[in-house]
Structure 1
Amino acid sequence: MELLKSPLKDCFILKPTVFRDERGIFYETYNQNAFEKATGLKIDFVQDNQSISSRGVLRGLHFQKGAMAQAKLVRVVSGRVLDIVVDIRKESETFGQSFSVVLDDVNHLQLFVPRGFAHGFITLSDQSVFSYKCDNYYDKVSEGGIIYNDATLALDWHLPKEEFIISEKDLQLPNFREAIT
């Protein structure tokens, strides 16, 4: 496993070792010892989630607040997504900054999203299967979010707006300034 840094403090990409032969490929999607050795972090993931989305489905930007904040390790099982994170930790040197990476079933990259980050993704392929491990349980009361088209963040989602499929709930999210107060 190789650790690739992102420009955001504490956020990084993991590149697994992929074994290929005439049968196809094999790689570990998660190995606690390898994760700890590569990152220096001891994290107990307690919940696995998976979503299946069509092209243009935009999920996010979501986060959990307070004691229910979550770190996530995300990957794409099949398809291709643009994954975006925003550092919302007010004390962080990268507060308010964003980072995006394409995750797909060819590059097998995984993104580690630390606690205190808003997270979202958009499906770029016809369909995607997106998987993520969380180090804390989901709690509806602690849920927060930022509207996808926040002017302050000016995020590039890599698809024309006409292709976006967004839940009514996500369309009601506040802007960045309102979300972090």
Structure 2
Amino acid sequence: MNVRELAVPGAYEFVPDVHRDHRGAFVAQYTESAFSQAVGYPLRLGQVHHSFSRRGVVRGVHYEDVGPGQAKLVTCPAGELLDVVVDLRVGSPTFGRWDSTRLNPDSCRAVYLEEGLGHAFVALRDDTVAAYVTSVEYDPATEHEIDAFDPALGLPWPEGMEYLVSPRDRGAPTLAEARRAGRLPSYEACRALHADTHVERGDRAR
């Protein structure tokens, strides 16, 4: 399995080996040893859920209160999506930076994002399925949103597409508005979540 850290620290792309033959394919989407070696701690399982989207659906940018926060491992077992991670941690050296990855069942890529990072995606095909493994159960009282079309973020949504957005996400505040309101997680609080288990980046095997 190949792993790379994205431009947003605390977010990783996992590319597993896909074994193909005349019957089809087999892939180990997650292995604890590869995950722990890259990230510095094991994946915690709180909930597994799926979303089903038609082409043009944009979900996010979503994030949770820290603590406890909610880390996510995201895959795409059907269709295709452009997955986006945004650094929303106030005080982070990369605050406001984003990175993106295309997820689909051909590559079997996965994206992991730590607590405090924002997550969004756009479905590039009809019948796109996003599968989530999250570190804690979903709690609507602790989830918040940032405007995915905030010009200050400049997220890489494809041109020439008719976007479908929920009323809740359409009315989300900009990054600056959420920061002024004190709604964003702090970088130090996020770092403290894994202080006892985290391996320093320079010590991680690649």
Helix, strand or coil at the partner of 2:125: coil
**2:118 maps to 1:139:** no
Which whole-Å CA distance do the structure 1 matches of 2:37 and 2:24 have between them? 27
Which whole-Å CA distance do the structure 2 matches of 1:5 and 1:42 have between them? 16
- Name the % identity: 34
Q: Which residue of 2 aligns with 1:178?
A: 177
Mapping of residues 41-52 of structure 1, within 5 Å: 41-52=41-52
In structure 2, list runs of 5 or more residues that go unmatched: 183-206
* Conserved 8 A contact 1:74-1:132: yes
> What is the CA distance between 1:142 and its match in structure 2?
1.1
Mapping of residues 31-180 of structure 1, within 5 Å: 31-160=31-160, 163-180=162-179
With normalisation by structure 1, the TM-score equals 0.93
> What is the CA distance between 1:28 and its match in structure 2?
1.3
Count of residue pairs brought into register by the alignment: 180
Q: Which residue of 1 aligns with 2:14?
A: 14
> What is the CA distance between 1:53 and its match in structure 2?
0.5
> What is the CA distance between 1:21 and its match in structure 2?
0.9
Instruction: Return the letter of the residue paired with 2:172.
Output: L
- Aligned-residue Cα RMSD (Å) equals 1.4
Moved more, 143-152 or 33-42: 33-42
Moved more, 27-36 or 46-55: 27-36
In structure 1, list runs of 5 or more residues that go unmatched: none
Helix, strand or coil at the partner of 1:68: coil
> What is the CA distance between 1:9 and its match in structure 2?
0.9
Which whole-Å CA distance do the structure 2 matches of 1:37 and 1:148 have between them? 32
Instruction: Return the letter of the residue paired with 1:134.
Output: T
* Conserved 8 A contact 2:88-2:95: yes
> What is the CA distance between 1:94 and its match in structure 2?
1.1
> What is the CA distance between 1:116 and its match in structure 2?
0.8
Helix, strand or coil at the partner of 2:35: helix
* Conserved 8 A contact 2:66-2:115: no
Which whole-Å CA distance do the structure 2 matches of 1:159 and 1:139 have between them? 33
Helix, strand or coil at the partner of 1:66: coil
Which whole-Å CA distance do the structure 1 matches of 2:73 and 2:34 have between them? 14
> What is the CA distance between 1:80 and its match in structure 2?
0.6
* Conserved 8 A contact 1:56-1:159: no
Instruction: Return the letter of the residue paired with 2:41.
Output: L
Helix, strand or coil at the partner of 1:121: strand
Q: Which residue of 2 aligns with 1:23?
A: 23
> What is the CA distance between 1:179 and its match in structure 2?
1.9
Which whole-Å CA distance do the structure 1 matches of 2:156 and 2:10 have between them? 22
* Conserved 8 A contact 2:8-2:85: no
